[in-house]
């Protein structure tokens, strides 16, 4: 029964090609689930090649949106959730970039330096003097530390 569940988990990636990239409902969350399975079974139940293909899809999606919405000069990767550019960990840039930097994903070092690092630097520049970050890119209100 566990093997059947793992097979179904692997095939979830093929159900909806328009799934978002964010942590809670998207590709990064899916990758987290795949890594969780491998870690807790103590062996590679999910092929690393499958995980890396999803990472590539996330990077390509981020590059495409960055170019399409004219962010490329500021951030080579950009992601949206319901037409908003969230900054936080749950639906936003921080969560996606955090997972892309995890060693277990084995993202190509060149892509980490040319795509992920400048995108993280862009997010770091959004910090308010208070230490807070905006919930979305176009929100200039310094209200709280936003997790979403």
How far does CA 51 lie from the centroid of its chain? 13
Q: pTM for the whole thing?
A: 0.94
Domain ranges across the chain: 2-124
**pLDDT band per the 50, 70, 90 thresholds, residue 142:** very high
Instruction: Give me the residue label for tokens 């400048």.
Output: 118
How far, in whole angstroms, is CA 73 from its chain's centroid? 20
The closest alpha carbon to 66, from 29, 114, 119, 7, belongs to: 119
d(CA 86, CA 102): 21
The answer to whether residue 146 scores a pLDDT higher than 80 is no
**φ and ψ at residue 136, rounded to 5 degrees:** -135, 160
Q: What are the pLDDT digits (tens) for 24-80?
A: 999 999 999 999 999 999 889 999 999 999 999 999 999 999 999 999 999 999 999
pLDDT of the residue at 17: 78
Calculate the alpha carbon distances from 87 to 32, 46, 92 in Å: 19, 30, 5
Looking at residue 148, its pLDDT comes to 80
**Is 55 flagged in the annotation as binding?**
no
Whether the pLDDT of residue 14 is over 90: the answer is: no
- What pLDDT digit, counting tens, does each position of 97-130 carry? 999 999 989 999 999 999 999 999 999 999 999 9
């Amino acid at each position: 029964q566990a093997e059947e569940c793992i097979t179904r988990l692997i095939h979830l990636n093929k159900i909806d090609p328009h799934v978002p990239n964010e942590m809670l409902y998207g590709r990064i969350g899916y990758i987290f689930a795949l890594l969780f399975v491998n870690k807790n079974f103590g062996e590679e139940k999910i092929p690393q090649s499958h995980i890396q293909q999803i990472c590539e899809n996330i990077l390509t999606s981020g590059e495409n949106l960055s170019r399409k919405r004219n962010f490329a000069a500021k951030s080579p990767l950009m992601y949206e959730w319901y037409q908003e550019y969230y900054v936080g960990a749950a639906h936003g840039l921080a969560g996606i970039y955090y997972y892309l930097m995890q060693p277990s994903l084995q993202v190509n070092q060149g892509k980490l330096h040319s795509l992920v690092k400048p995108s993280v630097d862009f997010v770091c520049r959004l910090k308010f003097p208070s230490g807070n970050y905006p919930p979305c890119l176009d929100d200039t209100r310094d209200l709280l530390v936003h997790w979403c």
